[in-house]
Amino acid sequence: MSNNRLGTAPVFFTAISTILGAILFLRFGYAIGELGFYGVFLIIIIGHLVTLPTALALSEISTNRRVEGGGEYFIISRSFGLNIGATIGIALYLSQAISVAFYVIAFSEAFTPVFDWVLRDYGYQLSKQVVSIPAMLILSILIIKKGANIGIAALYVVVTILFISLAMFFLGGPINTDLETVNFSNFIYRNPDNFFIVFAIIFPAFTGMTAGVGLSGDLKDAKKSIPVGTILATVMGMIIYGFIIWKLSISADELSLSSDQFIMSKIALGGAFIIPLGLAASTISSAIGSILVAPRTIQAIGVDKSFPIKSLNSFFAKGKGDANEPINGSIVTSVIAFLFVIMGDVDAVAKIISMFFMVTYGAICLISFLHHFGADPSYRPTFKSRWYFSFIGFLMCFYLMFKMEMTYAFLSILGMLILYFVISTYHKKRGGLESIFQNAIFQLIRNVHVYIQQSRKSRGTWRPSAVCISEDSFEREKAFELLNWISYKHGFGTYIHFTKGYYSTTTNLESRKILNDLIKRTQTHKGNMYIDTIISPSYTSAIAQVLQLPSSSGMENNMIIFEYEKHSEDKLTPIIENISLTQAGSFDVCVLASSSRSIIPERGIHMWIRNLDEENANLMILLSYIILGHPSWHNSSLKIFNVCEESKIENIKNEMKDLILTSRIPITEKNISIIKRDESRSFKDIVNETSREAGLTIIGFKVEQLKNEGKETFQGYDNIGDVLFILANGVKDIY
């Protein structure tokens, strides 16, 4: 357990020393030379459209719950789930580790006057590694030996030097006397086409505002220190940036600003000494901040056992002493930094670093936005941002990623997708994105349902919103499959398992188990239906309850599906008895007579239309079209049959052609068959012979027919497979 002891000051100083870093000293003059005062001022504004919302979101999230070791990683992993958190966390760690090398190399730039002196007086061209490698070695030894204590102690010293150097810069005068009259009225905006090129160079200066968050595991009161330290550093950094570009603009001409990376040393009072010292202080403090934060990020990932290799988890989770210093993480971070210091040029890597920081900031803003939108009652931060700030930050992060460098943006996202796939494959049981999106989805569904209910007067075209109730869910899957076909794309479906009995603890537990099993089945079948269960003392009472349930879509249910095994009369009887109940609610009725055969979609759908199907025909056609839209029926076809007297064959054929043309169902004329009525053969005999091999047969029926014939309405189709009987509640419009 970490012996938390640090206050707000280390968070602020770590952040501000990283914000006022190498880019400020080495590249702000170049940026003003290229774009002018207003161009760089616009960069500062746009850059802080990312950093300010992120600082506010980070402060908000950190005051909602205790932020433990790992800083940004801890926040993201506890919001998006451990798999997403580990993916972003590993990328963030690599960015932090490589940033150490970036700052150490920039630190060596502070010795440019020394390199120039050696070259001028002794003729030796010294490599930057002469400074950067020993500096990296000393820094690594100090951090590994002393940990956060030496880091924080050194941090106070270098921040003091940093602010002294900036003060001396502002006390300096212009390098050209004719610039004394320069003011806001004659500032200009140059080279707008180069804006995002310069932005990509400048943006790393803005990425330091979350540096102090990595100390979360060492803070006495993270809920207080993180918001105060982070927001204060971000705002102060933005103000200082504004004054620095103003001072540069009135102190040097365009050519000097563009060509001399040490232009600040020419302007500052005692600049030949104080500006290189300030650059050294800013870069080494940034390096200290990164080398303090990176090991704690990787340690937190190891503690969560998120690596797909067990030995790595225990290796990185290991801490030293009462403060739980991440000793192994510090060693690995130093090694990574050494490799890039030896390479000496991390410009290309720095672009990828910026991409990963952008992804991290975007994720933090998205977390805040989703928490606001989700209205989770457990989300009660003491510091509150606004949802629109977080949303703007999220959008700006991903917009700027692609504006800065499209290739690196794609590579960064691709790399993180691969990393997420590896981690989620290893940790299959861990939650993913659904953990934070769930509340937002609940709110969205609620709002959509309310909107649909309130706008019922403007209903659109008909579509099925079907509900199926069955107590034979585990005996047969035919009704389950039918509802799956209907709800795949064009319709909505709710499957309800009926448990006969009275509501009690026992039946409730049984019902919940059944629900979980059915949901797993839905996932296996890739179903798009909603699953539920109902406990009721009788089949009739269960149907009465189901008919009054709202649809999962928000619209009213308009169709009920019954299912029975063809040769089981005891199951057919209660269905017939309750069809009249469905008519009270103006429901369309489907009765699926399941056979022992498997449904083979390649054998197609046979639809039989008779004189009694004036109201049924359009519904039968629409359902056939919807079923054929399911991937299982991709290679299937629809055939339409009609049995009539010989004198009416031509008229019926023309009517069928018009019906197909009107309905725009993709079938050809050859798939329409008109069969001459033969008095010696019944309709059922013809169907049994013609549709013997059909994958599914659809037949209409009427209430009057059911009253007269009873069970015989559905019986007598013994030679064919599954039959779907349809009773429409009125004619459905086909546009």
Q: Report pLDDT digits (tens) over 667-686.
A: 777 888 888 888 888 999 99
Integer Cα distance of 534 and 542 in angstroms: 7
pLDDT in tens, 185-220: 557 788 888 888 888 878 877 877 776 666 666 677
Please answer whether residues 214 and 297 qualify as being in contact, where contact means their C-beta atoms are separated by less than 8 angstroms: yes
The mean-pLDDT minimum among 126-135, 366-375, 589-598 falls in 366-375
Please answer whether residues 276 and 265 qualify as being in contact, where contact means their C-beta atoms are separated by less than 8 angstroms: yes
Which comes out higher in pLDDT, residue 630 or 282?
630
pLDDT, position 575: 92
Integer Cα distance of 83 and 89 in angstroms: 10
Please indicate, yes or no, whether the overall pTM of this predicted structure exceeds 0.75.
no
pLDDT, position 377: 63
Of 347, 354, 260, 187, residue with least CA distance to 28:
260
pLDDT, position 1: 38
Please answer whether residues 319 and 299 qualify as being in contact, where contact means their C-beta atoms are separated by less than 8 angstroms: yes
pLDDT in tens, 436-479: 566 677 777 777 766 666 665 545 577 888 999 998 888 888 99
Please answer whether residues 728 and 615 qualify as being in contact, where contact means their C-beta atoms are separated by less than 8 angstroms: yes
pLDDT, position 734: 67
pLDDT, position 2: 44
pLDDT, position 534: 92
pLDDT in tens, 632-666: 898 888 899 988 877 788 888 787 777 666 666 66
pLDDT in tens, 602-624: 999 999 988 888 889 889 988 99
Q: How confident is the model at residue 167 (pLDDT cuts 50, 70, 90)?
A: very high
Say if residue 632 is exposed, middle or buried (CB neighbours under 10 Å; 0-12, 13-18, 19+): middle
pLDDT in tens, 108-117: 878 888 888 8
DSSP string, 205-266: GGGGGGGGGGGGGGBS-HHHHHHHHHHHHHHHHHHHHHHHHHHHHTTS-HHHHHH-TTHHHH
Token digits for 379?
Answer: 């989300």
Percent of the chain with pLDDT over 90: 21
pLDDT in tens, 545-577: 988 887 777 678 899 999 999 887 788 989 998
Q: Which residues pair with 268 in a beta bridge?
A: none
DSSP string, 301-314: HHHTT-SSSHHHHH
- ∠ CA 41-42-43, nearest 5°, is 90
Please answer whether residues 40 and 355 qualify as being in contact, where contact means their C-beta atoms are separated by less than 8 angstroms: no
pLDDT in tens, 257-313: 888 888 898 899 988 889 888 888 888 877 877 888 888 889 989 988 888 888 888
pLDDT in tens, 391-409: 999 999 889 888 887 888 8
Token digits for 495?
Answer: 């499957």
pLDDT beyond 70 at 152: no
Section 45-56 average pLDDT: 89
Integer Cα distance of 330 and 326 in angstroms: 6
Question: If you classify domain 459-727 with CATH, what class do you get?
Answer: alpha beta
Of 22, 12, 26, residue with least CA distance to 353:
22
Q: Which residues pair with 493 in a beta bridge?
A: 466
pLDDT, position 648: 81
pLDDT in tens, 210-246: 766 666 666 777 677 888 888 898 899 899 999 999 9
pLDDT in tens, 697-707: 999 999 999 99
pLDDT, position 367: 81
| Three-state DSSP string of 512-571 | HHHHHHHHHHHHHHCCCCEEEEEEECCHHHHHHHHHCCECCCCCECCEEEEEEECCCHHH
Question: If you classify domain 8-426 with CATH, what class do you get?
Answer: mainly alpha
Residue 682 CA neighbour count, 13 Å, CB half: 5
Section 347-361 average pLDDT: 72
Integer Cα distance of 132 and 145 in angstroms: 20
Q: Domain segments of the chain: what residues?
A: 8-426, 459-727
Q: Which DSSP category does 20 fall into?
A: T
Section 10-20 average pLDDT: 81
Integer Cα distance of 109 and 726 in angstroms: 82
Please answer whether residues 71 and 224 qualify as being in contact, where contact means their C-beta atoms are separated by less than 8 angstroms: no
Task: Give Rg (Cα) of the chain.
Answer: 36
Percent of the chain with pLDDT over 70: 87
Residue type, 155: L
pLDDT in tens, 27-37: 888 899 889 88
Q: Do domains 8-426 and 459-727 have the same CATH topology?
A: no
Please answer whether residues 576 and 710 qualify as being in contact, where contact means their C-beta atoms are separated by less than 8 angstroms: yes
